[in-house]
């Protein structure tokens, strides 16, 4: 059984994962903002 150690590569992967999820959330959220902005 392997121990989970937070190496530099794993921290970098976590940062990229967070950035990817943020970009995905923005990509899903921006069209709604666009529709709301056009309705005004």
3-state SS, residue 3:
coil
- CA nearest to 5, candidates 35, 13, 30, 16: 13
Whether pLDDT at 5 is above 90:
no
CA gap 2, 21 in Å, rounded:
27
> What does the pLDDT look like over 25-38, one tens digit per residue?
999 999 998 999 99
pLDDT at 16: 95
**Cα–Cα–Cα angle for 5, 11, 15, nearest 5°?**
150
């Amino acid at each position: 059984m392997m121990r989970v150690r937070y190496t530099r590569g794993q921290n970098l992967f976590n940062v990229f994962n967070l950035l990817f999820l943020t970009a995905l959330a923005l990509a899903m959220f921006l069209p709604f903002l666009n529709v709301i902005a056009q309705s005004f």
